[in-house]
Amino acid sequence: MASRGSFSSKIGFIAAAAGSAVGLGNIWRFPYEAGENGGAAFLLIYLICIFLIGFPVMVGEISIGRSTQLNAFGAYKQLGGKKWGYLGYWGILSAIMFLSVYNVVAGWAFAYFIQMVDGKIMHITDFGTHFSEQISDVSDLFFYSLGFMFLTAFIVARGIKKGVESASKILMPALFIMLLALIAYSFTLDNALEGIEYYLIPDLSKINLETVYNALGQAFFSLSLGMAALITYGSYMGKQENIVNSAAWVTSADTAVAFLAGLLIFPLVFSQGISPSEGPGLVFVVLPGIFASLGAIGPWVGAVFFLLLCFAALTSTISLLEIPVTYLVDEKGYSRIKVVIVTSIIIFIVGIPSMLSQGAVDFFTNFTFYEGKVKTIFDVVFDIFSDVGLPLGGFLMSIFIVKRWKINNFHEELAKGNPSYKGSFMEKYLKFSISYFAPIFLGAIFVLTVLQKFFGIKLI
Ligand code: TRP
């Protein structure tokens, strides 16, 4: 097992796991979810979800990985027997499918970064049309998505310490600095305050069950939960480290970046008098238009923004690729380099239909119909492996800890590297959350999502 590698320190783990968590979910998805679900009201519910369910599930995943020092499949199998191993397989399959789509969006971010740098964006008048053209331009799509996958593969091939950890230690602080600089700039714009108010003063009348449902989905997506990403990273963590404390850092970093992304985007959006509920196009349609209107400084601001988005995405794609890679290295004993080459090529190929589903190929674009709308294959993959799959993964993980691994063994693992854990409030809190909150809420979300999406039954 000596060749398996490990993080060099607590900071190494935190940087990598925070890198996994901070991604398109924070900067692309969080602001539009918040924009569509009442701004501050959503933020409030989101924080509660993180606290009550997200954080405990994160601790759960890390402890399963750290306890076994094995990949998702190996970890579940060792602690729970062969049947539970299938839950690990599900995590690995989900990672492959999720990454195949996530990489497509990362490719868009990459393309926009280049267009900001070369000034092309300044000559565009209709950003909506530009976005639709961009995401259906086959040669660009191939070039940028392949480029992104290559970068991801290159870093993962270098191993845990020299690749994943070193890259995260550079990319994460850089991301943070860029984010703060952009916020400082956005605050100088007219009407910035209106945006800040919308974002920070909750209108409690906007809260309903759907807000809760969306917020919990967002929390899972953003914290990289439900898919064995943190089992995988946890497996490279030393026994002397404090899991609860590391998870608290990762959760805080992720939440801080999502919060700051809102603080950047809402002032920008309100400065142009645009509605914040623009949906997934918010970052790719509305923001470039705003950058173009800022005059000479615009492309620079835009370039920094999209570089930030690329950095965020890259540390997430790394963590997703690491899931199947760790599995194949652990279980099959293949060399890391070979495994990385083969899996990244496969994932890229699996993603081609999704890549071509934004207008390039009609069959993939008008792929199917449910929830009252036409769905692209891209939507279908995200629906299954993100909206449905992540809560399911979290639900089954909590059942696993309670029924199979047993809560006492979970506590034993958490006590390693944390002498004051036993008897602490944290111990009781985690027990309560993993035994009741997490399974009840996640199970309910899973059932509601399946009914709503695939059976057209909307209960909330
Ligand atoms: N958390 C990332 C984001 O916010 C996405 C991500 C990376 C992820 N790895 C994951 C989500 C594993 C679920 C599971 O963009």
Question: Which of 22, 99, 319, 381 to mutate for ligand 1's pocket (most ligand atoms within 8 Å of CB)?
Answer: 319
Span 339-363, pLDDT tens digits: 999 999 999 999 999 999 999 999 9
318/168 Cα distance (integer angstroms)? 9
Closest ligand 1 atom to 386 CA: 13
Q: Look up residue 42 and give its DSSP letter.
A: H
The residue whose C-alpha atom lies closest to atom 11 belonging to ligand 1 is 224
Give the type of residue at 70. L
Cα 396 to averaged position of ligand 1 atoms, centre (Å): 18
Closest ligand 1 atom to 223 CA: 1
Radius of gyration of the chain (CA): 21
Name residues of the chain where pLDDT drops below 70.
Answer: 1-3
311/171 Cα distance (integer angstroms)? 6
102/58 Cα distance (integer angstroms)? 21
Cα 424 to averaged position of ligand 1 atoms, centre (Å): 30
Closest ligand 1 atom to 230 CA: 12
Closest ligand 1 atom to 22 CA: 4
Contact between 291 and 309 under an 8 Å Cβ cutoff? The reply is no
DSSP string spanning 415-443? HTT-TT-TTSHHHHHHHHIIIIIHHHHHH
- Residue 334 phi/psi, 5-degree rounding, is -75, 165
Helix-strand-coil split of the chain, %, nearest 5 = 80, 0, 20
Cα 317 to averaged position of ligand 1 atoms, centre (Å): 8
406/413 Cα distance (integer angstroms)? 11
The pLDDT value recorded for residue 169 is 96
The CB density around residue 125, as the number of other CB atoms within 10 Å, is 8
Tokens of 82: 């062969």
Cα 219 to averaged position of ligand 1 atoms, centre (Å): 10
Cα 55 to averaged position of ligand 1 atoms, centre (Å): 15
Q: Give 10-455's CATH code, choosing from 3.30.70, 1.10.1060, 1.10.3470, 1.10.4160.
A: 1.10.4160
Contact between 117 and 306 under an 8 Å Cβ cutoff? The reply is no
- Residue of 82, 67, 12, 39 lying closest to 277 (CA atoms): 39
Cα 1 to averaged position of ligand 1 atoms, centre (Å): 27
The pLDDT value recorded for residue 63 is 98
The pLDDT value recorded for residue 366 is 97
The residue whose C-alpha atom lies closest to atom 9 belonging to ligand 1 is 224
Give residue 247's Cα distance to chain centre.
15
Backbone dihedral region of 282: left (phi > 0), alpha (psi from -120 to 50 degrees) or beta?
alpha
Cα 422 to averaged position of ligand 1 atoms, centre (Å): 31
The residue whose C-alpha atom lies closest to atom 6 belonging to ligand 1 is 224
The pLDDT value recorded for residue 250 is 98
Contact between 280 and 379 under an 8 Å Cβ cutoff? The reply is no
Which residues have CB under 6 Å of ligand 1? 20-21, 23-26, 221-222, 224, 227, 229, 316, 319-320, 390
Give the type of residue at 93. L
Contact between 430 and 414 under an 8 Å Cβ cutoff? The reply is yes
Span 85-115, pLDDT tens digits: 999 999 999 999 999 999 999 999 999 999 9
Closest ligand 1 atom to 28 CA: 15
The pLDDT value recorded for residue 443 is 97
The residue whose C-alpha atom lies closest to atom 8 belonging to ligand 1 is 224
Cα 420 to averaged position of ligand 1 atoms, centre (Å): 31
Tell me the H-state helices in 272-297.
287-292
Cα dihedral across residues 435, 84, 389, 245: positive or negative? positive
Provide the 3-class DSSP secondary structure of residue 239: coil
Cα 122 to averaged position of ligand 1 atoms, centre (Å): 32
